[in-house]
A and B are shown apart, each in its own frame.
Chain A
């Protein structure tokens, strides 16, 4: 009998704890709506506190950013059926901490370039420009800056960003067509035409030739009108 005491007690208490858990689940109150808080707002302080594990700390903040975004997305969709990124108050500080901990966190800059313009377009530009300063060889950040400027209808600035990015090693061929496309969007058709003409003549890439040719035809049609 003594041998069986422990196993019996184990089973009995496991069953009792499961029953207690179910009882508590049935009476669970609706959690209070607690406003999201950032307990530490300085990436620099966190960097010092991380005793050299700043890359890991940046990963933690990056995951926290994604979880915050996902949670807000679900919450808003549950209430309004549509998502409004401008209500994400903590997105910018969370992203800032991530890149202060790890200035080479490209994914964070790219995420910010997509969603920060809806909160504050000027700080979105500053955020991506900071990424470019920290990672001057990363052509994708110039692409993102061009995208942010395009959303602000700053076509000349967008064209400039694409042009700078297209000169970097590894930048895809289509980046070279973007400055001219931005100028078309901005209404500067003569400069755009010049750029497309130069691209068409100088490029060996069939894709660029095809795009440039199509754009030149379109610009010529505008001119004839």
Chain B
């Protein structure tokens, strides 16, 4: 199994990426700014720190997962390293999986850093430790799952498309995924049977990212129920497995000569 060495190498590579650090610094600055914004909003400090912190974590996390996810394969193809790697006893599927898990490890570390920064901002805003600071972690886990799905989608697109188009497709998938309840509503309310069938198929084919959004509830003091977390984790694992299988299928058929 060559997956682990490839994953660790990808983690080291992406950890050296300046774009990652720039995005992380920007998120942490936003989290600090949320404390100031909370002060303006009279008595809403905790809500605003959680809303802004977790939203920034999602937006910048999605940008990281898309742009780093696309670069996983396309960079290797562009600089010709792919031929060198595949000449060694490494299966193409192992290469794809190793790259994917390496980036997931990077995203996991950056998610933990960002969630810790939000917790720190809350401790500062509340002037001490409080239960509110810990209930954001289940929501942060859901965000991390959303990022892993987006990474798998970006990786899938980068296996057959140019980096620019892959980024565009992945961003569109993110938007549609966030609007998936509307897609379901459309499927249920349309008069045309064909439209209903297509909408229902798209609803199941595209990732349902709205389920991973528990920011507003967390800001209102709720903790994501474990059933919801478990259900979303299972859904994410299944969807990622399907996306990686599709990516491996395409990548196995590609000719790099």
Contact = CB atoms under 8 A, between A and B. Distances in A.
A55 B178 contact: no
A59 B215 contact: no
Interface string A50-71: 0111111011001100110000
A62 B52 CA distance: 13
Contacts of A104: 220
Given A48-B179, A48-B182, A56-B55, A66 B41 contact: yes
A122 to B, nearest CB: 26
Contacts of A48: 179, 182
A66 B216 contact: no
Specify the main secondary structure of chain B where it touches its partner.
helix
B213 interface: yes
B70 to A, nearest CB: 21
Interface string B145-186: 000000000000000000000000000000100110010000
A53 B209 CA distance: 12
Interface string A84-124: 00000000000000000010100100000000000000000
Interface residues of A, number: 16
Given A62-B41, A63-B40, A107-B43, A55 B175 contact: no
Contacts of A59: 37, 41, 44, 47-48, 51-52
B42 interface: yes
Contacts of B210: 52
Contact of B42 (A51, A53, A102, A107): A107
A51, A55, A63, A107: most-surrounded residue (chain B CB, <10 A):
A55
B219 interface: yes
Residue from A56, A62, A102, A107 having most chain B Cβ neighbours under 10 A:
A56
Interface string B24-56: 000000000000010011111001100110010
Given A55-B216, A56-B215, A104-B220, A62 B51 contact: no
Contact of B216 (A51, A54, A67, A107): A54
Contact of B51 (A51, A56, A67, A107): A56
Interface string B219-234: 1100000000000000
A102 B210 CA distance: 16
Band of interface residues on B: 20 to 34
A117 B55 CA distance: 35
Contacts of B48: 59
A23 to B, nearest CB: 31
Contacts of A102: 216
A107 B44 contact: yes
Contacts of A66: 40-42
Given A59-B51, A66-B41, A53 B175 contact: no
Interface in B215-257: 215-216, 219-220
A52 B178 contact: yes
Contacts of A55: 47, 51, 55, 215-216, 219
Interface string A30-63: 0000000000000000001001111110110011
Contacts of B182: 48
Contact of A56 (B42, B52, B175, B179): B52
A48 B213 CA distance: 14
Among B42, B43, B175, B216, the one with the most A-chain Cβ atoms within 10 Å of its Cβ is: B216
Nearest to A55: B216
Contacts of A58: 51
A95 to B, nearest CB: 14
A119 B209 CA distance: 41
Residue among B37, B44, B58 with the highest chain A CB neighbour number at 10 A: B44
Nearest to B174: A51
The 8 closest A-B pairs by CB, nearest first: A55-B216, A51-B178, A52-B213, A56-B55, A56-B51, A55-B51, A52-B178, A53-B55
